[in-house]
Amino acid sequence: MTTSTPLSTGTGPLAGVVVVDLSRALAGPQTAMMLGDMGARVIKVEAPGTGDESRGWGPPFVGPDEAPESTYFLSCNRNKESVTADLKSPEGVELLTRLVRHADVLVENFRPGVMDRLGFSAAHLHALNPHLVILSISGFGHDGPQGGRAGYDQIAQGEAGLMSLTGPDPDRPTKAGVPIGDVLAGMNGAYGVVSALYERERTGRGKVVRTSLIASIVGVHAFQGTRYTVAGEVGRASGNHHVAIAPYGLFRCDGGAIQVAAANDAQWLRFAEVADLDTADPRYASNALRVAHRDELVADIERALAKGSAAHWLALLDTAGVPAGEVRTLDQVYDCPQTRSQGLVIEVDHPSLGTIELPGPAIRFDDGGRARHLPPPRLGEHNESVRAWLHGLEPAPRLTA
């Protein structure tokens, strides 16, 4: 297959860094995409014929019937090149060996032990390239009593306690609306890789970086974690209201709802004045009292807000300096001028889909960062160009029978 998009010689803080992406689905691809967003050249190695399993995750699929594209795959594979290789074949082993010799980073999210069985243990990878930073993402960690356990996002959300904190009440545990464990693991992976690359500047050697879905979810328990580890309280789902701050949540008004976050007494007093609530009510004299009387407070607030629409209250609260907002659908988010002003929607030219819009990176630089984003690649799109690049660095060794 010939190359239809240029090689990933991007600009940005990671320009010149070469990443070999052996991962699939979401956590590993998220890491590699973030590194690509920062200017790294990312070479995604996929199984011939099928590729990353997320290429088949849908609907929705878009594009021509003979070559449909999964929007799931499109979400986490921009700024990459795709080569195909059977890592159990001599040719695949030879290709990966050559890529490793010239890479700065390798990303994988196989189950623990798979890389060893493929003949690419961490020790062997570092024998090939002592400067290589190796990122290994797993479901439950690489060691411990459940270290070899397979993990997918929703399983991890349940096992790591997130579902018990999410939902309308303790009896209805609810998953997050996005694969948050995968995305967090990908973000932690990128953070770990960049840290290891920085350390390599001092030591000259790469190292192994590990994270997991369960670690990434436990790592964002925030106040719910210390609520248990320090105070001995087990947090449970509390719907759309904060368990430690009031008023802080979703409130019904005429024809809709708004969200209000009065995180201190000054904001509470301004909010109460706007909504014509009794600021002298002893039940609401402090945050602790407002939390203790939350049900009564919510009822009082919603009776007051029923006198006006969401737009009415949002305008008044904005003028008063009270944090508030609406609940938007995704079409409203992506069409919002503020979203687009932050670079959160980018255009890429896809070889079969034409010009498409993708969610953009969350980090911006004052010099503009990466000048041009590449579309998620078709399977094997860069087979020839990547092999030609490797041949220019070193002629391919002759395979022995």
pLDDT digits (tens, 9 = 90+) for 217-269: 999 999 999 999 999 999 999 999 999 999 999 999 999 999 999 999 999 99
What residues contact residue 351 under an 8 Å CB cut-off, 6+ apart? 4, 5, 375, 378, 381
Q: Is 349 one of the catalytic residues?
A: no
pTM of the model: 0.92
Mean pLDDT calculated for residue range 346-373? 91
Two tokens, residue 136: 């290994």
Residue type, 23: S
Strand ranges in 292-336 using DSSP code E only, listed in sequence order: 324-325
Catalytic residue among 143, 182, 276, 367: 182
155: which 2 tokens?
A: 């399983």
pLDDT of residue 371: 79
Longest dimension (CA), the chain: 88
Domains defined along the chain, listed by start? 18-220+339-393 (3.40.50.10540), 264-322 (no CATH)
pLDDT tens digits, 128-185? 999 999 999 999 999 999 988 888 999 999 999 999 999 999 999 999 999 999 999 9
